[in-house]
Chain A
Amino acid sequence: MDRGTRIKRLVWAVLFLQLLGCGPAPELPPPRTITYTFDAPTRDLISLLAQKSKSSLYKNFDRNFKGLLVPESLLPYEPFVLGLSTESKIPTVLLLDAPWVQRYGVAGWLYELERTHIFDRSELVPAVAEAFSVSLTKVTGEKGKELVAVPTYIKGNILFYRGDILKRYNLKSPRTWAELQAICRKILPQEKSLKYGLLIHSTNALNDFYPILWGFGGRVNNDAGQFVLHQRANADAFVVALKELISMQKGIIPGPVELKKFEPTGSLRQAFYRGQALFMINWNTRMKDLTDLIAQGKGQVPGSLTDINQVWISPIPAHTDHPNRYTNIGSFGWAVNRFSVTDPTVIANARSFIELVSDEQFQILAAENFGQVPSLNRALEKVTNRDVGRVYKWTFGQKDMVIRARPHNRRINNVLEKYLQEALYGLRTPESALDGALADLKDLTRPE
């Protein structure tokens, strides 16, 4: 072998050694985790999936994602308002109640999920996707609403009714308040076991009142979160809706005296279970509670429900002239803190987290075990829990159903609750209740 050949071979050997791993060691990126707000139901479902699923993603959930427990003592103070308004990067992912999604979204604290490909909106039930969307025009300059949180289930107040009785009288479920009243007037005199036509909550009655008000065309806040109750149309709708409700106290809903009976927790569903009411406005999750009560048979009296198929559901009625029916959403959704998005890794991790906690099997498990209505179209198709399917089909899946969040402002809610209670208890007229509320919220009515 001549010298030139030897040198050539040496050069090639040096070059190939690099390929064989003799080159400099690659730098390993440090492991990255993201933080999320910790809540018990999610933890329970993750634990269940970690046991049942073969996927290592659920088993290694705590390695990749760090849960932040929010002390209960802090919850009333809305600690994340302070954090996000001061651009804190922690937590990366937040579980937010629907009204807070609106509040945080409009303030520009939440990262848009659809445009950034973190989540595809088309996978969600359209009505619930709309409830978790806000306009980010002021923040991003993009027109239209943008999905800012991913709900893992659909929760809202709906109308429960005795389907077996309406069937017997060959009556359809009411779409309007007039129809509901007509049904009550027809059936109640003939069904002695029925003490009430309609049951609504006497505490937190505002949650039941919001869909009624929206069904009369009234709004307390507009889409941008601004207080608009004082505007003429809304104020009138408020008075009319309240008058309608109060008018039903004469024979259909409990009057001021009887309302107190329904202040204890669970009293409403107990009365409906015992067959005392023809209609009830309550959260859709009460379907599972009623199923459990029927199964337990505890406190059963003559006329009590014996089969969950006696219970039918439909959206809360609206005014005759109004095209839509409404539900006050009580779902939570996962949102991404805009200030934590500092690099693509954060986006990838957030996407991974949201995919896990809003996963199809995650939602199916919640539906089968807790009676939650999935928010994913795919999960809805695969759910075997018949009651969950019925709830979705006859309420949230109705074409005229609009899922809307109540105002996030606790002061507004507290004031309105106070005056609504006074009106229901006969202490104020609807007009006086409106005037009192507007007076208390005067500082919100000033033009900006």
Chain B
Amino acid sequence: MTTPTTFIRYSLRNRLFVLAGATFLLCVVVILLFFPLLNLTLTGLQDRTLKSMQEGAEVEATTIARLLVLEFASYKGLMQMTPSSDTPTDQSIKDLLWEKVTFNEIIEGIELIQGPADALGQHLTYMFYRREAPELKPMAGPQKLMKSFQGLEQDLINSITTQQRVDNRLQESVNRGPKQEGEMLLRYMPVHVLLADEGAVYWGVAKIGIDTSRMRQLLLLQSEEQNLLRKDIWLEIILSLTISGVLAMSLIYFWVRYITEPLKSLSFVAGDLQTARPEDFDLWLENLKRVDPQGQAEVAVIQQVLRRLGTAVPKLGQRLIENEARACLGRVMARGLPTLQAWQADLQDLERKLATGGADSLLPADQTLALLRARLETVFEDFSLFWSKEQWEALDLTLGLERAWRLATLGLPPEVQLHHDPSPLPPVWGAASELSLAALYLLDFAVELLPPDGDLGLAATPTPAKGVLLTVWSSGEMRTPAECQRWLNPFGDPASISGSLGPALAAAIAAQHGGQLTLKPREAGGVEFSLALPPPEASQDPHELPH
């Protein structure tokens, strides 16, 4: 389950940046998809234009061809033309073809093909082509000849002759193939000669070549224009995307920063709580108050809740400490109660004997009575120390440690080996009752872990830095560092808080006094607490002074 860890690694701000960036990239991709669509549109446009131009050219060609055919229709002399004739009419037909082809740029050539063919399948034909194509030799002039036609063209001419109607599919097929006359659009039309007494009499076929170079030029021009258009649009869109990208990312950066700033500040302040020491709590609360929600309802709500929690936590903590102290003293009292009761019974027995004069002790009765009373008073004095509220001062911990040791060991089984080696200690800065309580917390906790025949020890030694190092240890089961850490920080997993909070509270008291509590498992089993306190001058910093 690494995902949640990875997930919470990114802040809301980073996420918004990434999402905004991804959204922008998506938009860019969608906009870039415009190009294939543009290409399709332009291709479609080109196709439609091509088709429209072809249709236009064909209509134009048909119109030109029709005009010529209407003119040929008045040439009655055509009806008398034979292959061998050489009359002025022959010449006038040739002249007419020359004029039409020579002076009309759009007409590439004309053939007048008589309908019926001779025995060899040849048709009487008048023809003239300009032959502008470089690979073709120019014609000497209009010609009259017997000409054979092949393939589809022959079929088309025969079809026109028999039906006097143009089969457009054949005509299209003829136009699609290569033409010996050169590149041109060919139109075939029936020629009827108008005779007053017979009407429109079919004569043959007019084959008219129409120049298509203009259409090719237009197509080329259109293709170039489209390429230019593509390039311009591409450039404009890339430029627009770049500018809009920079603009968008700048604005998004600014807006995201602006929007997430209160939450970020709040999260930083809230995060400080994890590392804040108890003495920093007021400062943390002050920092929390200073977070500006900038009108964001969510931030304001969280801030308000945190403030309420922040106000409640110290009070709860204080109550917790007090209750834990009472609980600790209660446990100590409970352990020492049999001993105290025994002492009380001895005391009452002794007082009765003294009253009756039956005392037979080795010690004088009044001395024994005094000793018992002293013992009880010592216990009560020891207890009273932990209920007192003392001012902070430079103090010698020896007395407090003695009292804590006495209370903690009161009522322990006789099999328990006690190790207390008092030694002179340098003074430390603090409250005697609280430091003694810290020692009691540790001793009480150690007693809880102690087996019936275990070892319990307390040592207090000066440190090289002129501070004090308090060591509490007990024998027992083998413990792990993680277990020791949990004792120190029972709130790490709030769901599993259990047992005594003594080590944690002792650590808090140590920290309050500028010291530090460490805890480690002993190699022989059991644990060892080390509470280090600094010398007075080191812990007297104004910031760390108690309120």
Contact = CB atoms under 8 A, between A and B. Distances in A.
Interface of A: 76-79, 81-82, 85-88, 107-109, 138-139, 410-411, 414, 448
Interface string B364-381: 000000000000000000
A79 B199 CA distance: 8
Interface string B47-74: 0000000000000001001100110010
Contacts of B197: 76, 410, 414
B165 A77 contact: no
Interface in B191-208: 192, 194-201
Contact of A107 (B165, B196, B199): B165
B164 interface: yes
Contacts of B196: 76-77
Nearest to B201: A411
A77 B189 contact: no
Contact of B189 (A76, A86, A410, A411): A86
B69 A86 contact: yes
B444 to A, nearest CB: 63
Contact of B162 (A81, A414, A448): A448
B503 interface: no
B423 interface: no
A271 B64 CA distance: 55
Contact of B192 (A76, A85, A410): A85
Contact of A82 (B62, B163, B166, B192): B192
Interface residues of B, number: 22
Given A82-B200, A107-B164, A77 B194 contact: yes
Contact of B200 (A78, A109, A448): A78
B502 interface: no
B400 to A, nearest CB: 68
A78 B199 contact: yes
Nearest to A81: B200
Interface of B: 62, 65-66, 69-70, 73, 162-166, 189-190, 192, 194-201
A85 B198 contact: no
A425 to B, nearest CB: 21
B199 A85 contact: no
A88 B200 contact: no
A79 B195 CA distance: 11
Contact of A85 (B162, B190, B194): B190
B70 A82 contact: yes
B165 A85 contact: yes
B199 A81 contact: yes
B201 A88 contact: no
A85 B189 contact: yes
8 contacts: A77-B200, A78-B200, A82-B73, A85-B164, A85-B192, A86-B66, A86-B189, A87-B189
A411 B73 CA distance: 17
Contacts, number: 56
Nearest to B198: A411
B200 A87 contact: no
B192 A81 contact: yes
B100 to A, nearest CB: 16
Contact of A414 (B73, B164, B198): B198
B402 to A, nearest CB: 74
A188 to B, nearest CB: 39
Nearest to A77: B194
A108 B190 CA distance: 14
A414 B189 CA distance: 27
Contacts of B192: 78, 81-82, 85
A76 B199 contact: yes
Contacts of A82: 69-70, 73, 192, 194, 200
A138 B190 CA distance: 18
Contact of B165 (A108, A414, A448): A108
Nearest to A107: B165
A107 B163 contact: yes
Contacts of A81: 192, 199-200
B147 to A, nearest CB: 20
A77 B199 contact: yes
Contacts of B200: 77-79, 81-82
Contacts of A77: 194-196, 199-200
Nearest to A84: B165
A145 B128 CA distance: 43
Contacts of A138: 163
A418 B198 CA distance: 14
A76 B197 CA distance: 7
Contact of B66 (A78, A79, A88, A414): A88
A334 to B, nearest CB: 21
A355 B194 CA distance: 34
Contacts of A139: 165
Given A82-B192, A410-B197, A108 B163 contact: yes
A81 B164 CA distance: 10
A78 B202 CA distance: 12
Given A82-B69, A82-B70, A82-B194, A87 B166 contact: yes
Given A77-B199, A78-B194, A414-B198, 12 more contacts: A76-B199, A77-B195, A79-B200, A86-B62, A86-B65, A86-B66, A87-B166, A88-B66, A107-B165, A138-B163, A410-B197, A448-B162
B62 to A, nearest CB: 6
Contacts of A86: 62, 65-66, 69-70, 189-190
Nearest to B162: A448
Contacts of A78: 192, 194, 199-200
A218 B251 CA distance: 98
Given A107-B163, A107-B164, A109-B165, A410 B198 contact: yes
Nearest to B159: A138
A109 B66 CA distance: 16
Contacts of A410: 197-199
Q: Which of A78, A88, A139 has the most CB of B within 10 A?
A: A78
Q: Which of A76, A86, A138, A139 has the most CB of B within 10 A?
A: A86
Contacts of B194: 77-79, 82
A90 to B, nearest CB: 11
Nearest to B189: A86
A204 B197 CA distance: 15
B354 to A, nearest CB: 93
A79 B193 CA distance: 10
Nearest to B206: A86
A128 B96 CA distance: 47
Q: Which of A81, A82, A411 has the most CB of B within 10 A?
A: A82
Contacts of B189: 85-87
Nearest to B197: A414
A414 B163 CA distance: 23
A77 B199 CA distance: 4
Contacts of B66: 86-88
A86 B72 CA distance: 13
Contacts of A107: 163-165
A56 B164 CA distance: 41
A417 B374 CA distance: 173
Contacts of A85: 164-165, 189-190, 192
B165 to A, nearest CB: 5
Contacts of A109: 165
Contacts of A79: 194, 200
Contacts of B162: 448
Contacts of A411: 198, 201
Contacts of B198: 410-411, 414
A81 B192 CA distance: 8
A291 to B, nearest CB: 35
A133 B197 CA distance: 27
A76 B199 CA distance: 6
Contacts of A414: 197-198
A74 to B, nearest CB: 9
A175 B71 CA distance: 52
A108 B162 CA distance: 12
Nearest to A408: B199
Contacts of B65: 86
B151 to A, nearest CB: 20
